[in-house]
Amino acid sequence: DVFEQPQHVGHKKIEFHISTEIPAVLQINSEKEEKNGKRVYLYASTEEINNTGFGRIFPAPSSNDKMETEEEDDEIPSEFISKKDLEKNRLSREEMEKFSVFKNYEPGDPNCRIYVKNLAKQVQEKDLKFIFGRYVDFQSEVERNMFDIRLMKEGRMKGQAFIGLPNEKAAAKALKEANGYVLFEKPMVVQFARSARPKQDANEGKRKK
């Protein structure tokens, strides 16, 4: 009796191993079909669930693939605002018309610098970096160096900012996606910054005098 009991326990352990380990399941498919008809359907259903949720063979890599595709759609690191959040908190054209700050809105002439106004008092440079940093490739030293934020906190220019982006394409995308974004309950007005040429001309005039 003493020797027979451990033998029964041993058989039970084998059954448990078969139910949990996938390689064992695959190897003993033919035995299952003969002995455990019901269990075949159970394993099939769990495998089908795994297939739909993660992948056909390897669950972990396929879930990583999904994450990569999501990042490719947005193409920005998580430390910056997502496109979805930008769209959620951005005013529609109809809503913009109700605000006086958008009454005579014009985007201006395209260039790599943008001008942002109607900023709330509590806005800091880190808030603007969180939004506009998504248009900069920080792995590129050139783009990283070109990214520049100048937030005006005093005087007449208070509540305004100038942001330098790597190129006109990035600036145009930033203007399109961020204009009307509500930051601290105030919608941002985003335009292309005026070029600095007139100032240079004025300096030249002074030198001539």
| pLDDT of residue 194 exceeding 70 | yes
Phi/psi class of residue 82: alpha, beta or left (left: φ > 0; alpha: ψ in -120 to 50)?
Answer: beta
Task: Determine contact, residues 192/103, Cβ cutoff 8 Å.
Answer: no
Selected residue with higher pLDDT from 176 and 18:
176
* pLDDT score recorded for residue 75: 62
| pLDDT of residue 67 exceeding 70 | no
What percent of the chain lies above the pLDDT cut of 70? 56
- Mean per-residue pLDDT, 74-88: 84
* pLDDT score recorded for residue 4: 53
Helix (H, G, I), strand (E, B) or coil at 178: helix
Q: To 10 degrees, what angle do helices 168-178 and 125-132 make?
A: 110
d(Cα 7, Cα 26) in Å, to the nearest integer? 25
* pLDDT score recorded for residue 78: 79
- Mean per-residue pLDDT, 145-150: 96
How do the domains of the chain map onto residue ranges?
A: 83-192
Selected residue with higher pLDDT from 173 and 197:
173
Model confidence at 197, pLDDT cuts 50, 70, 90, reads low
Assign domain 83-192 to a CATH class: alpha beta
Render pLDDT for 111-135 as a digit per residue (tens, 0 to 9): 999 999 999 999 999 999 999 999 9
Helix (H, G, I), strand (E, B) or coil at 132: helix
3-state helix vs strand vs coil in the chain, percent to 5: 55, 10, 30
b (16+ CB within 10 A) / e for 18-36: beeeeeebeeeeeebeeeb
